[in-house]
Amino acid sequence: MYRHIALFFRLYSWWLIYFATARLFFLLFHFNQAAGLTPVEWIKVFGYGFQMDLSMGGYLMIISGLLLTLSVSLKKNFIPVIHGINKAGILLTSFMVVADAELYRHWGFRLTTAPLLYLDNEAAGTLPLLRYFFLILLWISFSIVSIFFYSRITRIEKLPVLRPVYALALLLLTALLIIPVRGSFQVSTMNISRVYFHPDKPFANHAGINAVWSFMYSAWSSNQLKYPEDFFDKKLTEEYFSRLYPQQDSTIYVLNTRRPNILLIILEGITEDVVGPLGGREDVMPNLNRLCKRGVFFDQFYANGDRTDKGLVSLLSAYPAQPRGSIIKYVHKTQQLHYLSSDLIELGYRASFVYGGDVDFANYRSLFTNGHFAHITSLDDFPDSLQTNKWGIHDAFLFRQVLYELDSTRQLPFFKVVLTLSSHEPFNVPMPPVFAGNDEATRYLNACHYTDKCLGDFIASAQTKAWWNNTLIIITADHGHRLPGNKRPEQKEKYHIPMLWTGGAVNRDTVIHTLGNQSDLANTLLAQLGHPDNRFIFSKNLLGKPVKNFAMFVFHDGFGFIAPDALLVYDNPGHHFIVEQGNITEEYINLSKAYMEKLYLDYNSKR
């Protein structure tokens, strides 16, 4: 019996050593951030993370425990089966460990099922081929080393035959795994917040998370996602939320017509660092910089989230991003959203969409179908010879198609949405590099420069067209970007994007300094047409009065509130504000929480 119990604890100990090693691997993989932790904080990362390792190890031990029990009760040697299952588990979890380390570099949160939404032919082209080889090599190496030490630690190939009655002891031992699995004798079970110990360093908290546990929890809860409805007092929520969106009695009109054609150009991943008027570099996007001096430029405009699917929902449905996942994944919920295009169609517009990628990616098509777009142009509508970008069609050919469609349109006014993609990873563009270097940040700059050239050429051609004088062109971005500088999810700079209104329908050149979000586009535009819509409850008219000067951004399990004189960033697992800059008042705290409570309640109500 002793040898059976010894093997049980050796197997369990192995998984605890394995997960501690995986945590060390994560820290070394992100050493630039890990170097900012003190020795005490390193110790706490492993200490707090250990309880989650105990939980995940307990889950993985259940099968081994049951097989050990069967080996006694049936008097069969299941040890080779146990070792086989655990070695297969090492291969799988090692893949998750390596994937998690790489994805954290891009997403800023530990492994969940969210990346599965993007795992198709398009997503496969995001990383350079050499990076894939590097990651595969890491996975193979980590697996081989892990299996080697597993064999050394658990080297028992055969156990003595015992009377079946001893199987009860092993069954009891297996049942006791519920203690580390739950992580507590209290009502509260193991959760992400258990490893959060640092009030100011999100990376320290993230490093303590067990990536495999995080993924398993996400997979289990994704289909039953429901946000807390007691995040903030419900009565106070209505009071403070109404302060964010006061009734407006006037607006500044910046158009020379109430029924302009509307062309919405959404640029892929353009951030403040590459836009001169936002304080960024002047040499990356010179055409956009020049255009921003003509027309109506909103210089305090922020993305609601950090992914294209979230940006599209915010821009086209005035619906903010959520801290976990994206509403676009749940068609039954997006069917209940209201759409900017629906309002425009009621005003006589014809809605269409042009994209050089796969419109079925991340449920995009469902969004445009729900919005009653009359026509969608996507990857399959372009010649195969133009599909030289791993994500689809480069921006030069995309804008050429846009010009063709605008010249061919017979139904006016039109509402056309264009989504670019050349400035998406892996940043391979059909143009000689302007900026020297082959690092990721430089490739990003070159890709943005290429997109800017395509945009500039398009505007130059558009100005010669008959439809120009009666057209409003809105240029913005789907989200910001971590590059250059590898900005963290909680940094507001990552979400600062341009919004420019230009075209022949614009009657003035001005800069609007009011803080706003992508979700504010809907009512800002509709007010210019004389038809603001109170169904867009998260949308304010940035040109109206009175207007509350604020913006929100959402990242994985957290959110930020921006005021003219303050910044608040809240971490959901830690249940506290991790950033408090400027004039922090109780008013700002309550406004930010009321906004999120309203979003949580509204999201949950869409069943």
Query: What's the rounded mean pLDDT across residues 532-540?
Result: 98
pLDDT at residue 124 tops 60: no
Residue 349 lies in a domain: yes
Q: For residue 117, what pLDDT band results from cuts at 50, 70 and 90?
A: low
Q: Taking a C-beta distance cutoff of 8 angstroms, is the pair 207, 20 a contact?
A: no
pLDDT at residue 246 tops 80: yes
Residue 591 lies in a domain: no
Between 75 and 233, name the one with better pLDDT: 233
Q: For residue 125, what pLDDT band results from cuts at 50, 70 and 90?
A: low
Q: Are residues 259 and 197 in the same domain?
A: no
Q: Are residues 344 and 260 in the same domain?
A: yes
Domain boundary among 516, 547, 578: 547
Q: Are residues 214 and 264 in the same domain?
A: no
Provide the β-strand partners of residue 560: 553, 569
Domain boundary among 188, 209, 224: 224
Between 97 and 194, name the one with better pLDDT: 97
Residue 535 lies in a domain: yes
Q: Are residues 181 and 261 in the same domain?
A: no
Residue 330: the pLDDT is 82
Residue 122: the pLDDT is 44
Distance CA 590, CA 4 (A): 57
Q: Are residues 176 and 278 in the same domain?
A: no
pLDDT tens column, 328-375: 988 788 989 999 999 999 999 999 999 999 998 888 988 998 999 999
State the SS3 of 273-302. Answer: HHCHHHCCCCCCCHHHHHHCCCCEEEEEEE
Distance CA 424, CA 362 (A): 15
Q: For residue 241, what pLDDT band results from cuts at 50, 70 and 90?
A: very high
- Give Cα 443 distance to the centre of its chain: 21
As given in the structure block, the two tokens for residue 135 are 């990651």
pLDDT at residue 106 tops 60: yes
Q: Are residues 524 and 428 in the same domain?
A: yes
Q: Are residues 257 and 203 in the same domain?
A: no
Instruction: For residue 44, report the phi and psi dihedrals to the nearest 5 degrees.
Output: -65, -35
Q: Which range, of 96-110, 180-194, 467-481, 534-548, averages the lowest pLDDT?
A: 180-194
Residue 532 lies in a domain: yes
Residue range of the domain that includes 266: 251-547
Residue 120: the pLDDT is 52
Q: Taking a C-beta distance cutoff of 8 angstroms, is the pair 34, 195 a contact?
A: no
Residue 362: the pLDDT is 83
Q: For residue 118, what pLDDT band results from cuts at 50, 70 and 90?
A: low
Query: What's the rounded mean pLDDT across residues 542-557?
Result: 97
Residue 222: the pLDDT is 63
Residue 389: the pLDDT is 85
Residue 600 lies in a domain: no
pLDDT tens column, 126-151: 667 888 899 999 999 999 999 999 99
Residue 221: the pLDDT is 66
Query: What's the rounded mean pLDDT across residues 292-296?
Result: 96
Give the total number of structural domains in the chain.
2
As given in the structure block, the two tokens for residue 438 are 């082959």
Residue 577 lies in a domain: no
State the SS3 of 365-418. Answer: HHHHHHCCCCEEECHHHCCHHHCCECCECCHHHHHHHHHHHHHHCCCCCEEEEE
Q: Are residues 212 and 267 in the same domain?
A: no
Q: Which of 329, 328, 241 is nearest to 599 (CA)?
A: 241
Domain boundary among 224, 242, 270: 224
Residue 164 lies in a domain: yes
pLDDT at residue 204 tops 60: yes
pTM of the model: 0.83
Q: For residue 183, what pLDDT band results from cuts at 50, 70 and 90?
A: confident
Query: What's the rounded mean pLDDT across residues 475-496?
Result: 96
Q: Are residues 176 and 302 in the same domain?
A: no
Number of residues written out for the chain: 607
Q: Which of 321, 313, 325, 307 is nearest to 269 (CA)?
A: 307
pLDDT at residue 244 tops 90: yes
Give the CATH number of the domain where residue 455 resides.
3.40.720.10
End-to-end distance of the chain based on CA atoms, in angstroms?
53
pLDDT at residue 121 tops 50: no
Examine residue 546 and say whether the peptide bond preceding it is cis (omega within 30 degrees of 0).
Answer: yes
- Give Cα 65 distance to the centre of its chain: 38
Q: Are residues 202 and 267 in the same domain?
A: no
CA atoms within 13 A on the CB side of 335: 4
pLDDT tens column, 50-74: 999 999 999 999 999 999 898 888 8
Distance CA 498, CA 299 (A): 6
The percentage of residues in the chain with a pLDDT greater than 90, rounded to a whole number, is 80
As given in the structure block, the two tokens for residue 267 are 């640029």
Residue 566 lies in a domain: no
Query: What's the rounded mean pLDDT across residues 527-534?
Result: 98
Residue 417: the pLDDT is 98
What mean pLDDT, rounded, does the chain reach? 93
Q: Are residues 385 and 456 in the same domain?
A: yes
Give me Rg for the CA atoms of the chain: 27
Residue 155: the pLDDT is 82
Q: Are residues 486 and 359 in the same domain?
A: yes
The percentage of residues in the chain with a pLDDT greater than 70, rounded to a whole number, is 96
Between 562 and 411, name the one with better pLDDT: 562
Query: What's the rounded mean pLDDT across residues 436-462?
Result: 97
Q: Which range, of 45-49, 390-394, 398-402, averages the lowest pLDDT?
A: 390-394
Query: What's the rounded mean pLDDT across residues 447-456?
Result: 98
Spell 572-597 as b/e; 16+ CB within 10 A means b: bbbeebbbeeeebeeebbbbbbbbbb
